[in-house]
Amino acid sequence: MTDQMVIQIARDAFYYVIIVSGPLLLVSLIIGLLISIFQAATSISEQTLTFVPKIIAVFVLTVIVLPFMITNLKTYMISMFEMIPTLK
Protein backbone atom coordinates (compact mmCIF):
# COMPACT_ATOMS: atom_id res chain seq x y z
CA MET A 1 0.00 0.00 0.00
CA THR A 2 1.49 3.29 -1.06
CA ASP A 3 1.15 6.67 0.54
CA GLN A 4 -0.99 7.81 -2.37
CA MET A 5 -3.47 4.98 -1.79
CA VAL A 6 -3.79 5.87 1.89
CA ILE A 7 -4.33 9.53 1.04
CA GLN A 8 -6.93 8.61 -1.58
CA ILE A 9 -8.80 6.35 0.87
CA ALA A 10 -8.80 9.07 3.53
CA ARG A 11 -9.89 11.69 0.98
CA ASP A 12 -12.77 9.48 -0.19
CA ALA A 13 -13.80 8.77 3.40
CA PHE A 14 -13.95 12.47 4.26
CA TYR A 15 -15.81 13.20 1.02
CA TYR A 16 -18.49 10.62 1.75
CA VAL A 17 -18.84 11.71 5.37
CA ILE A 18 -19.50 15.26 4.21
CA ILE A 19 -21.87 14.16 1.44
CA VAL A 20 -23.89 11.86 3.71
CA SER A 21 -24.04 14.00 6.86
CA GLY A 22 -24.03 17.43 5.20
CA PRO A 23 -27.74 17.76 4.42
CA LEU A 24 -28.75 16.67 7.92
CA LEU A 25 -26.33 19.06 9.60
CA LEU A 26 -27.31 21.91 7.31
CA VAL A 27 -31.03 21.50 8.05
CA SER A 28 -30.31 21.27 11.77
CA LEU A 29 -28.26 24.46 11.56
CA ILE A 30 -30.95 26.35 9.65
CA ILE A 31 -33.73 25.23 12.01
CA GLY A 32 -31.62 26.21 15.02
CA LEU A 33 -30.88 29.60 13.51
CA LEU A 34 -34.55 30.28 12.76
CA ILE A 35 -35.60 29.29 16.27
CA SER A 36 -32.84 31.43 17.77
CA ILE A 37 -34.08 34.43 15.79
CA PHE A 38 -37.61 33.69 16.99
CA GLN A 39 -36.40 33.44 20.60
CA ALA A 40 -34.52 36.72 20.33
CA ALA A 41 -37.53 38.48 18.81
CA THR A 42 -39.95 37.22 21.45
CA SER A 43 -37.56 37.25 24.43
CA ILE A 44 -38.26 33.58 25.12
CA SER A 45 -35.24 32.05 26.80
CA GLU A 46 -36.30 28.40 26.84
CA GLN A 47 -33.26 26.24 26.17
CA THR A 48 -35.20 23.14 25.16
CA LEU A 49 -37.30 24.90 22.51
CA THR A 50 -34.80 24.14 19.74
CA PHE A 51 -34.50 20.40 20.33
CA VAL A 52 -37.94 19.14 19.29
CA PRO A 53 -38.13 20.99 15.94
CA LYS A 54 -34.55 19.98 15.13
CA ILE A 55 -35.21 16.33 15.93
CA ILE A 56 -38.39 16.31 13.86
CA ALA A 57 -36.73 18.08 10.91
CA VAL A 58 -33.69 15.78 10.95
CA PHE A 59 -35.92 12.69 11.20
CA VAL A 60 -38.11 13.79 8.27
CA LEU A 61 -35.07 14.69 6.17
CA THR A 62 -33.41 11.38 7.02
CA VAL A 63 -36.45 9.51 5.73
CA ILE A 64 -36.43 11.59 2.54
CA VAL A 65 -32.66 11.45 1.90
CA LEU A 66 -32.07 7.86 3.06
CA PRO A 67 -31.95 6.33 -0.45
CA PHE A 68 -29.31 8.90 -1.49
CA MET A 69 -27.29 8.19 1.65
CA ILE A 70 -27.45 4.42 1.21
CA THR A 71 -26.45 4.69 -2.46
CA ASN A 72 -23.40 6.79 -1.63
CA LEU A 73 -22.31 4.54 1.23
CA LYS A 74 -22.84 1.46 -0.93
CA THR A 75 -20.69 2.98 -3.67
CA TYR A 76 -17.91 3.73 -1.19
CA MET A 77 -18.02 0.28 0.39
CA ILE A 78 -18.00 -1.47 -3.00
CA SER A 79 -14.93 0.53 -4.01
CA MET A 80 -13.24 -0.40 -0.72
CA PHE A 81 -14.02 -4.09 -1.17
CA GLU A 82 -12.78 -4.00 -4.76
CA MET A 83 -9.53 -2.45 -3.55
CA ILE A 84 -8.76 -5.30 -1.09
CA PRO A 85 -7.12 -7.63 -3.65
CA THR A 86 -4.77 -4.86 -4.79
CA LEU A 87 -3.40 -4.22 -1.31
CA LYS A 88 -0.08 -5.78 -0.38
Question: What is the distance between the alpha carbons of residues 18 and 3, in angstroms, rounded to a whole number?
Answer: 23
pTM, rounded to two decimals: 0.79
Split at pLDDT 50, 70, 90, the class of 66 is very high
Strand ranges (DSSP E) for 1-88?
A: none
Per-residue confidence (pLDDT) for residue 88, from 0 to 100: 72
Per-residue confidence (pLDDT) for residue 69, from 0 to 100: 96
Residue range 9-55, pLDDT digits in tens = 999 999 999 999 999 999 999 999 999 999 889 888 887 888 899 99
